[in-house]
Amino acid sequence: MRGGGLRIYAVIYLVFLYLPILLLPVFAFNSSTIIAFPLASFTTEWFAELPRVPALRDALWVSLKIAVLTALVSTLLGVCAARAAARYRFAFKGTIMGLIMLPLVLPEIIVAVSLLVVFLQIGLPLGSLTVVLGHVLICTPFCVAILNGAFQSLDISLEEAAIDLGETGWSTFRLIILPLVMPGIISSLLIAFTISMDEFIIAFFLSGSEATLPVYLWGQLRFPQRLPVVMALGTLLVLASVVLLTIAEVARRRGVARRGQQDNGGFL
User: What average pLDDT does range 71-77 have in this prediction?
Assistant: 95
pLDDT band at 77 (very low <50, low <70, confident <90, very high): very high
Distance in angstroms (rounded) separating the CA atoms of residues 261 and 255: 10
- With pLDDT > 90 as the criterion, what percentage of the chain qualifies? 22
Confidence of residue 247 (pLDDT cuts 50, 70, 90): confident
Q: Give the model's confidence band at 2: pLDDT under 50 very low, under 70 low, under 90 confident, else very high.
A: low
Ordered alpha helix ranges (H), the chain: 2-28, 45-49, 54-87, 93-101, 108-122, 128-152, 156-164, 169-172, 178-198, 201-206, 213-220, 227-267
Between helix 54-87 and helix 93-101 the angle, nearest 10°, is 170
State the pLDDT at residue 204. 92
Cβ neighbours of 116 (radius 10 Å): 16
Judge contact between 66 and 192, C-beta under 8 A: no
pLDDT of 73 reads 96
Q: For 21-38, what is the mean pLDDT?
A: 77
Query: What is the model's pLDDT at position 261?
Result: 60
Indicate if the pLDDT at residue 222 is higher than 90.
no
Average pLDDT for 130-134: 94
pLDDT in tens, 59-71: 889 999 999 999 9
**Residues of 250-260 as b/e, b for ≥16 C-beta within 10 angstroms?**
ebbeebeeebe
Domain chopping of the chain, boundaries: 54-267
Terminal CA-CA length for the chain = 46
Distant-in-sequence, close-in-space partners of 46: CB < 8 Å, separation ≥ 6: 28, 29, 228, 229, 231, 232
Average pLDDT over residues 76-103: 86
Q: Is the pTM value of this prediction over 0.75?
A: yes
Sort 157 into a burial class: Cβ within 10 Å, 0-12 / 13-18 / 19+. exposed
The predicted pLDDT at position 267 comes to: 40
CATH class of 54-267: mainly alpha
User: Which residues have a Cβ under 8 Å from the Cβ of 95 and sit 6 or more positions away?
Assistant: none
Q: Which residue has the higher pLDDT, 230 or 140?
A: 140
Query: In the predicted model, is pLDDT for residue 165 greater than 90?
Result: no
Query: 25 or 263, which is more confident?
Result: 25
